Structure 1
Protein backbone atom coordinates (compact mmCIF):
# COMPACT_ATOMS: atom_id res chain seq x y z
CA UNK A 1 0.00 0.00 0.00
CA UNK A 2 1.31 3.41 -0.95
CA UNK A 3 1.48 5.69 2.11
CA UNK A 4 3.07 9.06 2.64
CA UNK A 5 5.51 9.65 5.47
CA UNK A 6 3.95 13.06 6.15
CA UNK A 7 1.10 13.20 8.62
CA UNK A 8 -0.39 14.89 11.65
CA UNK A 9 -2.76 13.78 14.39
CA UNK A 10 -4.11 15.40 17.52
CA UNK A 11 -6.55 13.82 19.97
CA UNK A 12 -7.87 15.00 23.32
CA UNK A 13 -9.88 13.36 26.06
CA UNK A 14 -11.10 13.93 29.60
CA UNK A 15 -10.39 11.14 32.06
CA UNK A 16 -10.79 10.87 35.83
CA UNK A 17 -7.39 12.46 36.36
CA UNK A 18 -7.98 15.47 34.07
CA UNK A 19 -7.54 16.61 30.47
CA UNK A 20 -5.03 14.69 28.35
CA UNK A 21 -3.94 15.12 24.73
CA UNK A 22 -1.56 13.56 22.20
CA UNK A 23 -0.02 15.35 19.23
CA UNK A 24 1.79 13.30 16.57
CA UNK A 25 3.77 14.76 13.66
CA UNK A 26 5.61 12.73 11.02
CA UNK A 27 7.89 13.73 8.15
CA UNK A 28 9.98 11.80 5.65
CA UNK A 29 13.07 10.03 6.92
CA UNK A 30 15.32 7.25 5.75
CA UNK A 31 14.35 5.00 8.65
CA UNK A 32 11.77 5.00 11.44
CA UNK A 33 12.83 7.50 14.10
CA UNK A 34 10.49 8.05 17.05
CA UNK A 35 10.89 10.90 19.53
CA UNK A 36 8.72 11.22 22.65
CA UNK A 37 8.14 14.32 24.77
CA UNK A 38 6.62 12.99 27.97
CA UNK A 39 6.23 14.16 31.57
CA UNK A 40 7.84 11.97 34.19
CA UNK A 41 4.49 10.47 35.17
CA UNK A 42 4.16 8.81 31.76
CA UNK A 43 7.78 7.75 31.16
CA UNK A 44 7.06 4.26 32.47
CA UNK A 45 4.85 3.36 29.50
CA UNK A 46 7.18 4.74 26.82
CA UNK A 47 8.31 1.23 25.71
CA UNK A 48 4.66 0.26 25.14
CA UNK A 49 4.02 3.45 23.20
CA UNK A 50 7.09 2.91 21.04
CA UNK A 51 6.20 -0.72 20.34
CA UNK A 52 2.68 0.29 19.28
CA UNK A 53 3.97 2.90 16.86
CA UNK A 54 6.55 0.52 15.41
CA UNK A 55 3.79 -1.97 14.64
CA UNK A 56 1.95 0.66 12.58
CA UNK A 57 4.74 2.51 10.75
CA UNK A 58 7.84 1.45 8.81
CA UNK A 59 9.57 4.73 7.96
CA UNK A 60 9.47 8.39 8.90
CA UNK A 61 10.53 10.72 11.68
CA UNK A 62 7.70 10.88 14.23
CA UNK A 63 7.49 13.39 17.09
CA UNK A 64 5.01 12.46 19.82
CA UNK A 65 4.04 15.07 22.42
CA UNK A 66 1.86 14.32 25.44
CA UNK A 67 0.19 17.05 27.51
CA UNK A 68 -2.13 16.82 30.49
CA UNK A 69 -3.80 19.05 33.05
CA UNK A 70 -4.97 17.57 36.33
CA UNK A 71 -8.59 17.98 37.29
CA UNK A 72 -9.40 20.39 40.14
CA UNK A 73 -10.31 17.51 42.39
CA UNK A 74 -6.88 16.03 41.82
CA UNK A 75 -4.98 19.25 42.48
CA UNK A 76 -7.02 20.20 45.55
CA UNK A 77 -7.10 16.82 47.29
CA UNK A 78 -4.75 16.92 50.30
CA UNK A 79 -4.15 14.33 52.99
CA UNK A 80 -2.79 14.84 56.52
CA UNK A 81 -0.37 12.33 57.93
CA UNK A 82 -2.21 11.81 61.23
CA UNK A 83 0.45 9.74 63.01
CA UNK A 84 3.15 12.23 62.16
CA UNK A 85 0.97 15.19 63.18
CA UNK A 86 0.13 13.62 66.57
CA UNK A 87 3.79 12.87 67.16
CA UNK A 88 4.73 16.42 66.21
CA UNK A 89 2.09 17.93 68.57
CA UNK A 90 3.33 15.76 71.42
CA UNK A 91 6.90 16.91 70.85
CA UNK A 92 5.82 20.56 70.63
CA UNK A 93 3.94 20.26 73.95
CA UNK A 94 6.98 18.68 75.51
CA UNK A 95 9.16 21.56 74.34
CA UNK A 96 6.62 24.09 75.68
CA UNK A 97 6.84 22.45 79.09
CA UNK A 98 10.61 22.77 79.07
CA UNK A 99 10.54 26.32 77.69
CA UNK A 100 7.44 28.11 78.96
CA UNK A 101 8.69 31.44 77.59
CA UNK A 102 8.81 30.09 74.01
CA UNK A 103 6.32 31.29 71.44
CA UNK A 104 3.56 28.69 71.00
CA UNK A 105 3.52 26.88 67.66
CA UNK A 106 0.64 27.72 65.34
CA UNK A 107 -1.37 25.28 63.24
CA UNK A 108 0.18 26.60 60.02
CA UNK A 109 3.62 25.88 61.41
CA UNK A 110 2.64 22.32 62.12
CA UNK A 111 1.12 21.82 58.66
CA UNK A 112 4.28 23.23 57.09
CA UNK A 113 6.38 20.50 58.66
CA UNK A 114 7.72 18.15 55.93
CA UNK A 115 5.51 15.12 55.47
CA UNK A 116 2.54 16.33 57.52
CA UNK A 117 0.51 17.36 54.44
CA UNK A 118 0.71 15.30 51.27
CA UNK A 119 -1.14 15.26 47.97
CA UNK A 120 -3.50 12.37 47.40
CA UNK A 121 -1.89 9.81 45.12
CA UNK A 122 -3.31 9.54 41.64
CA UNK A 123 -4.38 6.13 40.35
CA UNK A 124 -1.45 5.84 37.91
CA UNK A 125 -2.53 2.49 36.45
CA UNK A 126 -5.84 3.95 35.36
CA UNK A 127 -4.07 7.07 34.12
CA UNK A 128 -1.58 5.05 32.05
CA UNK A 129 -4.39 2.97 30.56
CA UNK A 130 -6.17 6.15 29.46
CA UNK A 131 -2.94 7.46 27.93
CA UNK A 132 -2.40 4.24 25.98
CA UNK A 133 -5.94 4.14 24.62
CA UNK A 134 -5.73 7.76 23.54
CA UNK A 135 -2.36 7.13 21.91
CA UNK A 136 -3.87 4.26 19.90
CA UNK A 137 -6.53 6.65 18.59
CA UNK A 138 -3.87 9.22 17.68
CA UNK A 139 -1.81 6.57 15.90
CA UNK A 140 -4.81 5.38 13.88
CA UNK A 141 -5.56 8.96 12.93
CA UNK A 142 -1.94 9.48 11.84
CA UNK A 143 -1.96 6.28 9.75
CA UNK A 144 -5.22 7.33 8.08
CA UNK A 145 -3.81 10.73 7.15
CA UNK A 146 -0.62 9.17 5.76
CA UNK A 147 -2.76 6.79 3.73
CA UNK A 148 -4.89 9.62 2.34
CA UNK A 149 -1.77 11.56 1.38
CA UNK A 150 -0.40 8.37 -0.17
CA UNK A 151 -3.43 8.09 -2.47
CA UNK A 152 -2.81 11.63 -3.70
CA UNK A 153 0.84 10.82 -4.37
CA UNK A 154 -0.14 7.64 -6.22
CA UNK A 155 -2.46 9.60 -8.51
CA UNK A 156 0.30 12.09 -9.24
CA UNK A 157 2.80 9.33 -10.02
CA UNK A 158 0.26 7.55 -12.21
CA UNK A 159 -0.29 10.73 -14.24
CA UNK A 160 3.47 11.08 -14.78
CA UNK A 161 3.73 7.41 -15.78
CA UNK A 162 1.01 7.94 -18.38
CA UNK A 163 2.89 10.92 -19.80
CA UNK A 164 6.11 8.90 -19.96
CA UNK A 165 4.23 6.12 -21.77
CA UNK A 166 3.04 8.60 -24.41
CA UNK A 167 6.55 10.00 -24.87
CA UNK A 168 8.01 6.51 -25.32
CA UNK A 169 5.36 5.75 -27.96
CA UNK A 170 6.15 8.95 -29.86
CA UNK A 171 9.90 8.29 -29.84
CA UNK A 172 9.36 4.70 -30.96
CA UNK A 173 7.22 5.88 -33.89
CA UNK A 174 9.68 8.63 -34.70
CA UNK A 175 12.79 6.40 -34.72
CA UNK A 176 12.41 4.91 -38.28
CA UNK A 177 11.82 8.42 -39.60
CA UNK A 178 15.04 9.59 -37.95
CA UNK A 179 17.03 6.81 -39.62
CA UNK A 180 15.50 7.61 -43.00
CA UNK A 181 16.30 11.27 -42.51
CA UNK A 182 19.95 10.42 -41.77
CA UNK A 183 20.13 8.25 -44.87
CA UNK A 184 18.77 11.05 -47.06
CA UNK A 185 21.17 13.60 -45.58
CA UNK A 186 24.15 11.34 -46.22
CA UNK A 187 22.97 10.67 -49.76
CA UNK A 188 22.52 14.37 -50.40
CA UNK A 189 26.06 15.14 -49.21
CA UNK A 190 27.52 12.54 -51.53
CA UNK A 191 25.44 13.88 -54.41
CA UNK A 192 26.69 17.39 -53.69
CA UNK A 193 30.29 16.16 -53.86
CA UNK A 194 29.59 14.69 -57.31
CA UNK A 195 31.87 11.68 -56.78
CA UNK A 196 31.53 8.01 -57.39
CA UNK A 197 30.15 6.20 -54.37
CA UNK A 198 30.83 2.70 -53.15
CA UNK A 199 27.25 1.61 -52.46
CA UNK A 200 28.32 -1.25 -50.21
CA UNK A 201 30.49 1.04 -48.11
CA UNK A 202 27.65 3.54 -47.93
CA UNK A 203 25.28 0.88 -46.62
CA UNK A 204 27.84 -0.18 -44.06
CA UNK A 205 28.16 3.37 -42.78
CA UNK A 206 24.40 3.65 -42.50
CA UNK A 207 24.25 0.43 -40.50
CA UNK A 208 27.02 1.71 -38.21
CA UNK A 209 25.20 5.03 -37.70
CA UNK A 210 21.89 3.30 -36.99
CA UNK A 211 23.54 1.10 -34.37
CA UNK A 212 25.00 4.13 -32.61
CA UNK A 213 21.62 5.86 -32.63
CA UNK A 214 19.53 2.79 -31.82
CA UNK A 215 17.29 3.63 -28.86
CA UNK A 216 15.03 0.58 -29.04
CA UNK A 217 16.74 -0.98 -26.03
CA UNK A 218 16.28 2.15 -23.93
CA UNK A 219 12.62 2.39 -24.94
CA UNK A 220 12.07 -1.26 -24.06
CA UNK A 221 13.62 -0.74 -20.64
CA UNK A 222 11.47 2.33 -20.05
CA UNK A 223 8.39 0.23 -20.86
CA UNK A 224 9.65 -2.42 -18.46
CA UNK A 225 10.13 0.15 -15.70
CA UNK A 226 6.61 1.46 -16.26
CA UNK A 227 5.24 -2.06 -15.90
CA UNK A 228 7.26 -2.52 -12.71
CA UNK A 229 5.78 0.72 -11.35
CA UNK A 230 2.28 -0.73 -11.64
CA UNK A 231 3.41 -3.92 -9.93
CA UNK A 232 4.93 -1.94 -7.07
CA UNK A 233 1.76 0.12 -6.66
CA UNK A 234 -0.17 -3.09 -5.92
CA UNK A 235 2.18 -4.29 -3.17
CA UNK A 236 0.91 -4.28 0.43
CA UNK A 237 4.27 -3.65 2.11
CA UNK A 238 6.17 -0.31 2.17
CA UNK A 239 7.36 0.57 -1.35
CA UNK A 240 9.28 3.82 -0.93
CA UNK A 241 12.75 2.30 -1.27
CA UNK A 242 11.77 0.29 -4.35
CA UNK A 243 10.37 3.37 -6.05
CA UNK A 244 13.47 5.36 -5.16
CA UNK A 245 15.67 2.75 -6.85
CA UNK A 246 13.36 2.63 -9.87
CA UNK A 247 13.65 6.41 -10.29
CA UNK A 248 17.40 5.98 -10.69
CA UNK A 249 16.80 3.44 -13.44
CA UNK A 250 14.34 5.75 -15.19
CA UNK A 251 16.85 8.58 -15.07
CA UNK A 252 19.62 6.38 -16.48
CA UNK A 253 17.54 5.45 -19.53
CA UNK A 254 16.51 9.07 -20.10
CA UNK A 255 20.18 10.16 -20.07
CA UNK A 256 21.12 7.44 -22.56
CA UNK A 257 18.23 8.41 -24.79
CA UNK A 258 19.40 12.02 -24.77
CA UNK A 259 22.99 11.03 -25.62
CA UNK A 260 21.81 8.99 -28.62
CA UNK A 261 19.43 11.62 -29.92
CA UNK A 262 19.96 12.60 -33.56
CA UNK A 263 17.09 15.04 -34.02
CA UNK A 264 15.39 17.89 -32.17
CA UNK A 265 12.19 16.01 -31.39
CA UNK A 266 13.98 13.10 -29.73
CA UNK A 267 16.13 15.51 -27.73
CA UNK A 268 13.02 17.35 -26.57
CA UNK A 269 11.40 14.04 -25.65
CA UNK A 270 14.45 13.14 -23.54
CA UNK A 271 14.28 16.51 -21.77
CA UNK A 272 10.56 16.04 -21.08
CA UNK A 273 11.31 12.59 -19.70
CA UNK A 274 13.92 13.94 -17.30
CA UNK A 275 11.54 16.64 -16.07
CA UNK A 276 8.81 14.08 -15.39
CA UNK A 277 11.23 11.69 -13.70
CA UNK A 278 12.58 14.45 -11.45
CA UNK A 279 9.03 15.39 -10.44
CA UNK A 280 8.38 11.76 -9.57
CA UNK A 281 11.66 11.41 -7.70
CA UNK A 282 10.87 14.40 -5.48
CA UNK A 283 7.54 12.89 -4.48
CA UNK A 284 8.93 9.39 -4.03
CA UNK A 285 11.20 10.76 -1.27
CA UNK A 286 8.05 11.19 0.82
CA UNK A 287 6.66 7.67 0.32
CA UNK A 288 6.96 5.13 3.11
Structure 2
Protein backbone atom coordinates (compact mmCIF):
# COMPACT_ATOMS: atom_id res chain seq x y z
CA UNK A 1 0.00 0.00 0.00
CA UNK A 2 1.15 3.51 -0.72
CA UNK A 3 1.70 6.12 1.95
CA UNK A 4 3.90 8.99 3.02
CA UNK A 5 4.66 10.62 6.36
CA UNK A 6 7.33 13.03 7.55
CA UNK A 7 8.13 14.90 10.76
CA UNK A 8 10.96 16.96 12.27
CA UNK A 9 11.99 17.62 15.87
CA UNK A 10 14.24 20.32 17.31
CA UNK A 11 16.83 19.07 19.80
CA UNK A 12 18.03 21.78 22.16
CA UNK A 13 21.00 21.62 24.56
CA UNK A 14 20.22 20.10 27.95
CA UNK A 15 21.63 20.68 31.42
CA UNK A 16 23.64 17.48 31.09
CA UNK A 17 25.18 18.70 27.80
CA UNK A 18 24.95 22.51 27.77
CA UNK A 19 27.54 22.88 24.98
CA UNK A 20 25.73 20.58 22.55
CA UNK A 21 24.55 22.33 19.37
CA UNK A 22 20.90 22.93 18.60
CA UNK A 23 19.93 20.29 16.04
CA UNK A 24 16.95 19.47 13.85
CA UNK A 25 16.17 15.75 13.53
CA UNK A 26 14.03 14.62 10.59
CA UNK A 27 12.40 11.29 9.73
CA UNK A 28 10.56 10.48 6.49
CA UNK A 29 8.87 7.19 5.53
CA UNK A 30 7.62 6.33 2.04
CA UNK A 31 5.65 3.23 1.13
CA UNK A 32 4.66 1.86 -2.30
CA UNK A 33 2.86 -1.30 -3.35
CA UNK A 34 4.57 -4.67 -3.07
CA UNK A 35 3.40 -8.21 -2.35
CA UNK A 36 6.07 -8.59 0.34
CA UNK A 37 7.76 -6.36 2.91
CA UNK A 38 10.90 -4.75 1.47
CA UNK A 39 12.67 -2.29 3.79
CA UNK A 40 15.26 0.29 2.80
CA UNK A 41 17.10 2.85 4.96
CA UNK A 42 18.84 6.11 4.11
CA UNK A 43 20.47 7.31 7.33
CA UNK A 44 23.08 9.94 8.05
CA UNK A 45 26.36 8.84 9.58
CA UNK A 46 25.20 10.09 12.99
CA UNK A 47 22.19 7.73 12.87
CA UNK A 48 23.74 4.49 11.59
CA UNK A 49 23.48 2.94 15.04
CA UNK A 50 19.70 3.44 14.98
CA UNK A 51 19.09 1.14 11.99
CA UNK A 52 18.55 -2.18 13.89
CA UNK A 53 15.97 -0.61 16.21
CA UNK A 54 14.21 1.15 13.34
CA UNK A 55 14.14 -2.04 11.25
CA UNK A 56 12.63 -4.00 14.14
CA UNK A 57 9.96 -1.34 14.65
CA UNK A 58 8.95 -1.33 10.97
CA UNK A 59 8.82 -5.13 10.77
CA UNK A 60 6.54 -5.24 13.81
CA UNK A 61 4.11 -2.70 12.33
CA UNK A 62 4.04 -3.42 8.57
CA UNK A 63 3.47 -6.65 6.64
CA UNK A 64 3.61 -5.63 2.97
CA UNK A 65 5.00 -2.84 0.82
CA UNK A 66 8.29 -1.44 -0.39
CA UNK A 67 9.14 0.92 2.47
CA UNK A 68 11.97 3.44 2.62
CA UNK A 69 12.88 5.26 5.82
CA UNK A 70 15.10 8.35 5.60
CA UNK A 71 16.49 10.11 8.67
CA UNK A 72 18.84 13.09 8.88
CA UNK A 73 20.31 15.63 11.29
CA UNK A 74 20.71 19.33 10.46
CA UNK A 75 22.61 22.09 12.27
CA UNK A 76 25.91 20.32 12.97
CA UNK A 77 27.93 21.58 10.02
CA UNK A 78 29.42 24.64 11.73
CA UNK A 79 32.46 23.90 13.84
CA UNK A 80 33.39 25.94 16.88
CA UNK A 81 36.12 28.28 15.63
CA UNK A 82 38.61 29.58 18.24
CA UNK A 83 42.03 31.21 18.44
CA UNK A 84 44.79 28.56 18.63
CA UNK A 85 47.35 28.73 21.45
CA UNK A 86 51.13 28.62 21.06
CA UNK A 87 51.47 25.06 22.37
CA UNK A 88 49.10 23.69 19.71
CA UNK A 89 50.85 25.62 16.95
CA UNK A 90 54.26 24.45 18.12
CA UNK A 91 53.09 20.85 18.12
CA UNK A 92 51.74 21.10 14.57
CA UNK A 93 54.96 22.79 13.41
CA UNK A 94 57.05 20.03 14.95
CA UNK A 95 54.93 17.34 13.27
CA UNK A 96 55.24 19.15 9.96
CA UNK A 97 59.06 19.28 10.27
CA UNK A 98 59.23 15.55 10.99
CA UNK A 99 57.08 14.76 7.94
CA UNK A 100 59.14 16.99 5.65
CA UNK A 101 62.32 15.29 6.85
CA UNK A 102 61.07 12.11 5.21
CA UNK A 103 59.05 13.82 2.48
CA UNK A 104 61.01 16.97 1.50
CA UNK A 105 58.64 17.76 -1.37
CA UNK A 106 55.56 17.89 0.87
CA UNK A 107 54.07 21.38 0.93
CA UNK A 108 53.65 23.40 4.12
CA UNK A 109 50.31 23.74 5.91
CA UNK A 110 48.21 26.78 5.05
CA UNK A 111 46.42 28.98 7.56
CA UNK A 112 43.03 27.58 6.50
CA UNK A 113 44.26 24.02 7.00
CA UNK A 114 45.60 24.88 10.44
CA UNK A 115 42.27 26.37 11.47
CA UNK A 116 40.44 23.32 10.16
CA UNK A 117 42.67 20.97 12.15
CA UNK A 118 42.22 22.98 15.34
CA UNK A 119 38.47 23.43 14.99
CA UNK A 120 36.34 21.50 17.42
CA UNK A 121 33.12 19.92 16.19
CA UNK A 122 30.47 20.01 18.93
CA UNK A 123 29.51 16.55 20.17
CA UNK A 124 26.13 15.11 19.32
CA UNK A 125 23.59 14.75 22.14
CA UNK A 126 23.69 11.37 23.84
CA UNK A 127 19.89 11.10 23.50
CA UNK A 128 19.97 11.36 19.70
CA UNK A 129 19.31 7.63 19.19
CA UNK A 130 16.36 7.68 21.56
CA UNK A 131 14.96 10.80 19.90
CA UNK A 132 15.27 9.23 16.45
CA UNK A 133 13.43 6.10 17.58
CA UNK A 134 10.64 8.15 19.18
CA UNK A 135 10.22 10.36 16.12
CA UNK A 136 10.22 7.32 13.81
CA UNK A 137 7.40 5.81 15.88
CA UNK A 138 5.37 9.00 15.44
CA UNK A 139 5.96 9.06 11.68
CA UNK A 140 5.12 5.35 11.44
CA UNK A 141 1.75 5.96 13.13
CA UNK A 142 0.96 8.68 10.59
CA UNK A 143 1.95 6.34 7.76
CA UNK A 144 -0.30 3.57 9.08
CA UNK A 145 -3.24 5.97 9.28
CA UNK A 146 -2.63 7.02 5.66
CA UNK A 147 -2.43 3.37 4.56
CA UNK A 148 -5.59 2.59 6.52
CA UNK A 149 -7.51 5.31 4.71
CA UNK A 150 -6.31 3.94 1.38
CA UNK A 151 -7.25 0.43 2.47
CA UNK A 152 -10.81 1.52 3.21
CA UNK A 153 -11.12 2.92 -0.31
CA UNK A 154 -9.73 -0.31 -1.77
CA UNK A 155 -12.17 -2.44 0.22
CA UNK A 156 -15.07 -0.36 -1.08
CA UNK A 157 -13.85 -0.89 -4.64
CA UNK A 158 -13.52 -4.64 -4.07
CA UNK A 159 -17.10 -4.83 -2.77
CA UNK A 160 -18.27 -3.10 -5.96
CA UNK A 161 -16.38 -5.62 -8.12
CA UNK A 162 -17.83 -8.49 -6.09
CA UNK A 163 -21.35 -7.24 -6.72
CA UNK A 164 -20.65 -7.03 -10.46
CA UNK A 165 -19.24 -10.57 -10.51
CA UNK A 166 -22.26 -11.88 -8.61
CA UNK A 167 -24.54 -10.26 -11.18
CA UNK A 168 -22.60 -11.86 -14.04
CA UNK A 169 -22.76 -15.27 -12.35
CA UNK A 170 -26.54 -14.92 -12.02
CA UNK A 171 -26.76 -14.05 -15.73
CA UNK A 172 -24.74 -17.15 -16.63
CA UNK A 173 -26.71 -19.57 -14.45
CA UNK A 174 -29.82 -19.89 -16.71
CA UNK A 175 -27.61 -20.38 -19.78
CA UNK A 176 -26.04 -23.61 -18.51
CA UNK A 177 -28.90 -26.09 -19.24
CA UNK A 178 -29.41 -24.61 -22.69
CA UNK A 179 -25.69 -24.96 -23.45
CA UNK A 180 -25.66 -28.60 -22.35
CA UNK A 181 -28.68 -29.45 -24.51
CA UNK A 182 -27.26 -27.52 -27.46
CA UNK A 183 -24.02 -29.45 -27.30
CA UNK A 184 -25.86 -32.76 -26.99
CA UNK A 185 -27.96 -32.04 -30.08
CA UNK A 186 -24.92 -30.84 -32.01
CA UNK A 187 -23.08 -34.06 -31.20
CA UNK A 188 -26.08 -36.17 -32.29
CA UNK A 189 -26.30 -34.24 -35.53
CA UNK A 190 -22.66 -34.87 -36.33
CA UNK A 191 -23.02 -38.53 -35.34
CA UNK A 192 -25.94 -39.01 -37.67
CA UNK A 193 -24.05 -37.31 -40.49
CA UNK A 194 -21.11 -39.63 -39.91
CA UNK A 195 -23.40 -42.68 -39.82
CA UNK A 196 -25.00 -41.55 -43.08
CA UNK A 197 -21.64 -41.70 -44.82
CA UNK A 198 -20.94 -45.22 -43.53
CA UNK A 199 -21.91 -48.26 -45.53
CA UNK A 200 -24.82 -50.38 -44.28
CA UNK A 201 -22.74 -53.53 -44.12
CA UNK A 202 -20.13 -52.04 -41.80
CA UNK A 203 -22.51 -50.10 -39.56
CA UNK A 204 -23.99 -51.55 -36.34
CA UNK A 205 -27.70 -52.14 -35.86
CA UNK A 206 -29.74 -48.90 -35.94
CA UNK A 207 -31.01 -49.32 -32.36
CA UNK A 208 -27.51 -49.98 -30.98
CA UNK A 209 -26.06 -47.08 -32.96
CA UNK A 210 -28.74 -44.72 -31.69
CA UNK A 211 -28.20 -45.83 -28.10
CA UNK A 212 -24.46 -45.35 -28.39
CA UNK A 213 -24.99 -41.92 -29.95
CA UNK A 214 -27.15 -40.81 -27.03
CA UNK A 215 -24.56 -42.03 -24.52
CA UNK A 216 -21.70 -40.30 -26.29
CA UNK A 217 -23.71 -37.10 -26.74
CA UNK A 218 -24.63 -36.97 -23.06
CA UNK A 219 -21.05 -37.59 -21.95
CA UNK A 220 -19.76 -34.92 -24.32
CA UNK A 221 -22.32 -32.39 -23.13
CA UNK A 222 -21.51 -33.05 -19.48
CA UNK A 223 -17.83 -32.42 -20.12
CA UNK A 224 -18.82 -28.95 -21.30
CA UNK A 225 -21.17 -28.32 -18.37
CA UNK A 226 -20.04 -25.22 -16.42
CA UNK A 227 -22.46 -25.54 -13.50
CA UNK A 228 -19.69 -26.69 -11.16
CA UNK A 229 -17.45 -23.80 -12.18
CA UNK A 230 -20.23 -21.30 -11.49
CA UNK A 231 -20.94 -22.89 -8.12
CA UNK A 232 -17.27 -22.72 -7.08
CA UNK A 233 -17.00 -19.17 -8.41
CA UNK A 234 -19.96 -18.03 -6.34
CA UNK A 235 -18.49 -19.80 -3.31
CA UNK A 236 -15.20 -17.92 -3.74
CA UNK A 237 -17.07 -14.63 -4.11
CA UNK A 238 -18.90 -15.26 -0.85
CA UNK A 239 -15.64 -16.14 0.91
CA UNK A 240 -13.98 -12.95 -0.35
CA UNK A 241 -16.90 -10.91 0.98
CA UNK A 242 -16.57 -12.62 4.38
CA UNK A 243 -12.81 -11.99 4.51
CA UNK A 244 -13.28 -8.30 3.72
CA UNK A 245 -15.98 -8.08 6.36
CA UNK A 246 -13.76 -9.63 9.05
CA UNK A 247 -10.85 -7.32 8.24
CA UNK A 248 -7.37 -7.70 9.69
CA UNK A 249 -4.44 -8.97 7.65
CA UNK A 250 -6.34 -10.17 4.59
CA UNK A 251 -3.90 -9.60 1.73
CA UNK A 252 -2.40 -13.07 1.34
CA UNK A 253 -5.74 -14.82 1.88
CA UNK A 254 -7.33 -12.67 -0.82
CA UNK A 255 -4.40 -13.37 -3.15
CA UNK A 256 -5.23 -17.08 -3.02
CA UNK A 257 -8.96 -16.57 -3.51
CA UNK A 258 -8.40 -14.27 -6.49
CA UNK A 259 -6.25 -16.96 -8.12
CA UNK A 260 -9.09 -19.46 -7.65
CA UNK A 261 -11.57 -16.99 -9.14
CA UNK A 262 -9.33 -16.53 -12.15
CA UNK A 263 -9.05 -20.29 -12.65
CA UNK A 264 -12.83 -20.77 -12.62
CA UNK A 265 -13.39 -17.85 -15.02
CA UNK A 266 -10.79 -19.26 -17.43
CA UNK A 267 -12.47 -22.67 -17.36
CA UNK A 268 -15.86 -21.06 -17.90
CA UNK A 269 -14.55 -19.29 -20.98
CA UNK A 270 -12.84 -22.37 -22.42
CA UNK A 271 -16.01 -24.49 -22.06
CA UNK A 272 -18.34 -21.83 -23.44
CA UNK A 273 -20.08 -22.55 -26.73
CA UNK A 274 -22.27 -19.45 -26.89
CA UNK A 275 -21.40 -15.82 -27.49
CA UNK A 276 -23.38 -14.71 -24.45
CA UNK A 277 -21.54 -17.03 -22.07
CA UNK A 278 -18.20 -16.11 -23.65
CA UNK A 279 -18.95 -12.42 -23.15
CA UNK A 280 -19.80 -13.06 -19.50
CA UNK A 281 -16.55 -14.99 -19.00
CA UNK A 282 -14.52 -12.17 -20.57
CA UNK A 283 -16.18 -9.53 -18.37
CA UNK A 284 -15.52 -11.70 -15.34
CA UNK A 285 -11.83 -11.98 -16.15
CA UNK A 286 -11.54 -8.21 -16.58
CA UNK A 287 -13.11 -7.61 -13.15
CA UNK A 288 -11.00 -10.31 -11.52
CA UNK A 289 -7.82 -8.82 -12.96
CA UNK A 290 -8.78 -5.42 -11.55
CA UNK A 291 -9.33 -7.03 -8.15
CA UNK A 292 -6.02 -8.91 -8.34
CA UNK A 293 -4.06 -5.71 -8.91
CA UNK A 294 -5.69 -4.00 -5.94
CA UNK A 295 -5.57 -7.00 -3.59
CA UNK A 296 -1.77 -6.92 -3.79
CA UNK A 297 -1.94 -3.52 -2.13
CA UNK A 298 -3.78 -4.76 0.96
CA UNK A 299 -2.04 -6.04 4.06
User: 1:122 — aligned with what?
Assistant: 124
Contact 1:78 1:120 in 2 (8 A): no
Contact 2:81 2:119 in 1 (8 A): yes
Instruction: State the number of aligned residues.
Output: 262
With normalisation by structure 2, the TM-score equals: 0.73
SS at match of 2:28: strand
**1:266 and 2:277 matched:** yes
Contact 1:79 1:119 in 2 (8 A): no
User: 1:35 — aligned with what?
Assistant: 40
**Structure 1 residues 235 and 78, CA gap change in structure 2 (3 angstroms):** farther
Give the superposition deviation at 1:136.
1.0
Work out the CA distance in 1 between the residues paired with 2:219 and 2:156: 43
Alignment of 1:44-63 (within 5 A): 44-63=49-68
Which protein has greater RCO, CA pairs closer than 8 Å, 6+ apart? 1
User: 1:95 — aligned with what?
Assistant: none
Contact 1:10 1:22 in 2 (8 A): yes
Work out the CA distance in 2 between the residues paired with 1:285 and 1:249: 15
**Structure 1 residues 256 and 20, CA gap change in structure 2 (3 angstroms):** same
SS at match of 1:136: helix
User: 1:240 — aligned with what?
Assistant: 251
Contact 1:79 1:120 in 2 (8 A): no
Which of residues 7, 10, 19 is equivalent to 1:11?
7
**1:178 and 2:189 matched:** no
Alignment of 1:63-102 (within 5 A): 63-70=68-75, 75=78, 77=80, 85=85, 87-88=87-88
Contact 2:185 2:217 in 1 (8 A): no
Work out the CA distance in 1 between the residues paired with 2:245 and 2:7: 32
Contact 1:28 1:286 in 2 (8 A): yes
Give 5+ residue unaligned stretches, structure 1: 93-107
**Structure 1 residues 80 and 135, CA gap change in structure 2 (3 angstroms):** farther
- Kindly report the root-mean-square deviation, in angstroms, between the aligned alpha carbons of the 2 structures: 3.6
Contact 1:157 1:280 in 2 (8 A): yes
Contact 1:32 1:58 in 2 (8 A): yes
Give the superposition deviation at 1:141.
1.2
With normalisation by structure 1, the TM-score equals: 0.76
Give 5+ residue unaligned stretches, structure 2: 13-21, 93-109, 197-205
